[in-house]
Copies of this chain bind each other. A is one copy, B any other.
Amino acid sequence: MARAASTKGQTRIQREKTEEILEAALEVFATYGFRGATIDQIALQSGLSKPNILYYFDGKEAIHAKLLSRLLTTWLEPLKHLGDSDNPVDEICAYVARKLAMSRDYPRESRLFANEIIQGAPRILTELKGQLKTLTDEKAALIQNWCDAGLIKPIDPYHLIFSIWATTQHYADFDVQVCAVLSDKADSRFDQAAAFLDNMYRATLTH
């Protein structure tokens, strides 16, 4: 009965196993997408038996849903921190740096999200049109104010945000391709990317 839907009233063992399952599931869902992932793979990855996994979660869908709901919070965090500042260029570049660091430190989360969106976001569309849109509207208005005040060059704030998402997440989602192209120079790819992106956004935003 102690299903993992609620995080309260669990024993230590239960919490740990739930975490192990989610950790393994993240790996599998991020790699194969929802439909391509199997509980067998999650079982193998976590070292638990398949029925044991289904004891803790009400099926494949429930595991995926849990991962997605956690993800969205983490994912929007860097953008939430984009605040008012008398140096908007630094503020935006700091956001770019935070977002790139997330691609470096949480590539699986990035891929989980990418898989979901590419596949048409069937299980997260509501949140995109709600939480994500609201937050983006708010930050786009802030950027627009900076434009109007002449603090940065006039640009479309929405597409600026899109381009930041695209360029930073690229280093998580397309990591295999980046490494294939850079080959022996791939080790320092995140440092190179940080320098390049900082440079590009400064050029784009500074008068």
Show the binding face of A for B, using Cβ within 8 Å. 31-37, 111, 114-115, 117-121, 125, 128-129, 132-133, 136-137, 153, 155-156, 158-160, 162-163, 165-167, 169-171, 173-174, 176-178, 180-183, 185, 192-193, 195-197, 199-200, 203-204
CA distance A155 to B173 in the complex (A): 23
Q: Which of B36, B111, B178 contacts A162 (CB 8 A)?
A: B178
| Contact yes or no, A177 B121, CB < 8 A | yes
Question: What are 8 A-B interface contacts by the 8 Å CB criterion?
Answer: A32-B35, A33-B35, A118-B118, A120-B176, A137-B181, A155-B200, A159-B192, A162-B178
User: Quick check: B111 and A176 within 8 Å, CB to CB?
Assistant: no
Q: Once the chains bind, are B119 and A32 in contact (CB under 8 Å)?
A: yes
| Stoichiometry, copies per complex | 2
Decide: B177 and A128 in contact? CB cutoff 8 A. Answer: yes
Contact call A159/B115, Cβ cutoff below 8 A = no
A156 touches which of B35, B37, B170, B192 (Cβ 8 Å):
B192
Which among B31, B163, B195 is the interface contact of A167 at CB below 8 angstroms?
B163
In the complex, the answer to whether A181 meets B125 with C-beta atoms within 8 Å is no
Which single residue of chain B is at the shortest CB-CB distance from A111? B118
**Inter-subunit contact A128/B181 (CB<8 Å):** yes
Residues on B with C-beta less than 8 A from A118 are: 31, 111, 114-115, 118, 173-174
The interface residues of chain B lying within 8 Å CB-to-CB of A176 are 117, 120-121, 125, 128
Which 7 A-B pairs rank lowest in CB-CB distance, beginning with the nearest?
A: A35-B36, A166-B170, A159-B196, A36-B36, A128-B180, A166-B166, A203-B203
Q: A79 to chain B: closest CB distance in Å?
A: 12
Looking at the complex, which one of B185, B197, B203 makes contact with A153 (CB distance below 8 Å)? B203
**Contact between A200 and B163 (Cβ–Cβ < 8 Å)?**
yes
Residue of B nearest to A174 (CB): B117
Query: In angstroms, how far is the closest chain B Cβ from the Cβ of A61?
Result: 14
Residues in B neighbouring A197, C-beta threshold 8 A: 159, 163
Give chain B residues whose Cβ lies under 8 Å from the Cβ of A119. Answer: 31-33, 36
Closest to A114 in B: B118
